[in-house]
Amino acid sequence: MFVDKVRITVCGGRGGDGAVAFHREKYVAAGGPDGGDGGHGGSVILHVNDNLTTLLDFRYKRKYSAQAGVNGQSRKMAGKRGENLIIQVPRGTVVRDAQTNAIIVDMSTGEDFVLAKGGRGGWGNAHYATPTRQVPRFAKAGLKGQERDVILELKLLADVGLVGFPNVGKSTLLSVTSNARPKIANYHFTTLFPNLGVIYVEEGVSFVMADIPGIIEGAAEGAGLGHDFLRHIDRCRLLVHVVDVSGSEGRDPVEDFDAICAELHDYSVDLSNRPMIVAANKTDIMDPASDNLERLRRRCDDLGIDLYEISAGTTQGTRNLMRVIAERLRTLPPVTIYEPEYVEEVVEAGDPSLLEIEHMGSTWLITGTWLERMIMNINFDDYESRNYFDIQLHKCGLFRRLEEMGIQDGDTVDIYDFQFEYQR
């Protein structure tokens, strides 16, 4: 089964929590806090595997999570870092953000990419010891790993793309010029998924050619199979438009040529402007009295497109066509590598302006990333921990903002289900 587009969720591992511990040893009085730090969570990393040709592995598993970091321990022992999760993808996979559809990375260069970072491990209570707070009974919790929904879209890395109506001989042309063995039969849509073939012209000269399912009128709006696979020729440097000039199926080759060009334009203006060569196929069975070939040649001349006569079934002209393609490729730019479009928002969690305050009667509901992280680190059964929490709320400007908004003594402040009465 050929799968070339999937949606998955990736999650970096959560960081381990810092430990609350105190040194206990015979003959050592007041050993002090010695809680270790939590380990960082593992990250989700994409790795190119050239042995993969589809995204089939992602069809039945849609969520990938890296390992969490281990909590810190006593004696200032740090927790173990969570192991990274390596996800293998075919070369040419484009990763997009599921919400904005912006490109995050193009996995074509072979370099690994960190798709979801693991959370940082929390500090142990040994970090919070000060001359005035010698017995801190709180530690920092580990942070959540990055979570994101992404779309994996496979765009084959091919130099040349074969386009044309169904049953015009694209698969036959690929089979007689390369070692590829696509399915070939005398009916429409024999090709159900893209095929790649490496064409060796001479020593040191070769290129990759892609054959996609035949395009029909309306493909740009989703008709037929071609629309689903046109993405696989997005990167191609050169298009070879295969046209049946024999009229064996009662179609006019000039009308077929114009129809396919229109579909390419409707799908992508950039793709329609790609350099093109026309391969007039099935010349061996063409009626000698027919003017199909000459009319198609005049149409190509008007557009400045080179036309070459071939017969893929008998291999007549195919070798020369491959040499011409190789020569054209020498002057064309390399295969397209898409630049990232996605800009990740960097949120400063400690910015007090990011705290959201909602007033409902005598209750003030406070939310914000910084507060959510802070409240996870506090031991509300310990006086020093509560005092530290109060100091941090003053430092971030929360109480000042509440007073400016009109909070009254006795009003209830609710911070993630932790409630207290406000007193000036």
Rg (CA), the chain: 32
1-154 CATH pick, 2.70.210.12, 2.30.30.140, 3.40.50.300, 2.30.110.10: 2.70.210.12
Classify domain 352-421 at the CATH topology level. GMP Synthetase; Chain A, domain 3 (3.30.300)
**Residues facing 329 on adjacent strands:** none
Every domain of the chain and the residues it spans: 1-154, 160-330, 352-421
The span from the CA of 400 to the CA of 357, in Å, is 12
Q: Which residue has the tokens 């001479």?
A: 202
pTM of this structure:
0.75
Q: Around Cβ 3, how many Cβ atoms within 10 Å?
A: 14
Going by their DSSP bridges, the two strands 205-211 and 160-163 should be labelled as parallel
CB-side neighbour CA atoms (13 Å) of 52: 21
Query: Which of 79-83, 235-239, 402-406 has the least mean pLDDT?
Result: 402-406
For residue 79, pLDDT beyond 90? yes
Question: Span 172-199, mean pLDDT?
Answer: 76
Which distant-in-sequence residues (6+ apart) come within 8 Å of 369 by Cβ?
347, 349, 354
The encoded tokens of residue 86 equal 């390596």
At 145, is the secondary structure helix, strand, or coil? coil
The span from the CA of 248 to the CA of 250, in Å, is 6
Domain 160-330 belongs to what architecture?
A: 3-Layer(aba) Sandwich (3.40)
At 29, is the secondary structure helix, strand, or coil? coil
Whether the Cβ atoms of residue 411 and residue 421 lie closer than 8 Å to each other: yes
For residue 213, pLDDT beyond 90? no
- pLDDT per residue as tens digits for the range 33-58: 999 999 999 999 999 998 888 898 89
291-298, Cβ contacts within 8 angstroms, sequence gap of 24 or more? 292/245, 292/246, 292/247, 292/252, 292/253, 292/254, 293/245, 293/253, 295/253, 295/254, 296/243, 296/245, 296/253, 296/254, 296/257
The span from the CA of 202 to the CA of 204, in Å, is 6
- pLDDT per residue as tens digits for the range 244-276: 999 877 889 999 999 989 888 888 888 889 999
What one-letter code names the amino acid at 411? D
